[in-house]
Amino acid sequence: MVRKKRGQAELFPFLGWLVLGIFFLIAFLFFVNSAGKGTNIKEQVLAKKIVMIINEAEPGTAITFPIENFYVSIDGTTLTVKTERSSGYSYDFFSNYNIKPETNGGYLIIKVE
């Protein structure tokens, strides 16, 4: 007795859509988790605040910022703010003076010369 296998052909497309749906669900949850922490926005805000003050600073000025869990680096005229788990946010500044960053505890001290 031969039985017709009607449901077998429909199984593989269903599994493909199921795997694709799970993949997008995981990607969505990862995005929501990172957006919920707000570290990307905090990086951008901190970088822009520092750059705005650097652009307005005169020689001989020392600027102090609390940076908590952020790493700040200055390379040429580019300031980068990042956390341990992010790639960071970079922002350019237009100061013609020498900028020397230092870290002291949880503070960033920028000297404009």
38-80 tens-digit pLDDT: 778 888 898 999 999 999 999 999 999 888 888 888 898 899 9
> Beta-strand (E) ranges in the chain?
61-66, 71-75, 78-82, 89-92, 99-104, 107-112
Q: From 65, 70, 71, select the one nearest 49 (Cα to Cα).
A: 65
Q: What whole-number distance in Å separates Cα of residue 13 and Cα of residue 43? A: 43
45 and 24 in one domain?
no
Domain assignment present for 1? no
Q: How confident is the model at residue 3 (pLDDT cuts 50, 70, 90)?
A: low
95 found inside a domain? yes
> Is residue 2 situated within a structural domain?
no
Cα–Cα separations (whole angstroms), residue 106 to 24, 58, 89? 38, 24, 19
The answer on 31 and 58 residing in a single domain is: no
Residue 14, pLDDT > 80, answer yes
Model confidence at 17, pLDDT cuts 50, 70, 90, reads: very high
Claim to verify: residue 44 and residue 14 sit in the same structural domain:
no
**Residue 78 is assigned to a structural domain of this protein:** yes
Q: Determine contact, residues 72/109, Cβ cutoff 8 Å.
A: no
Same domain, 52 and 97: yes
Same structural domain, 21 and 76: no
- pTM summary value: 0.67
The answer, yes or no, to whether residue 92 has pLDDT greater than 60, is: yes
* Residue 62 within any structural domain of the chain: yes
pLDDT of residue 85: 79
One domain, residues 102 and 53: yes
Q: What is the pLDDT of residue 5?
A: 63
Domain residues for the domain of 56 are 39-112
**Pair 97, 70 in one domain:** yes
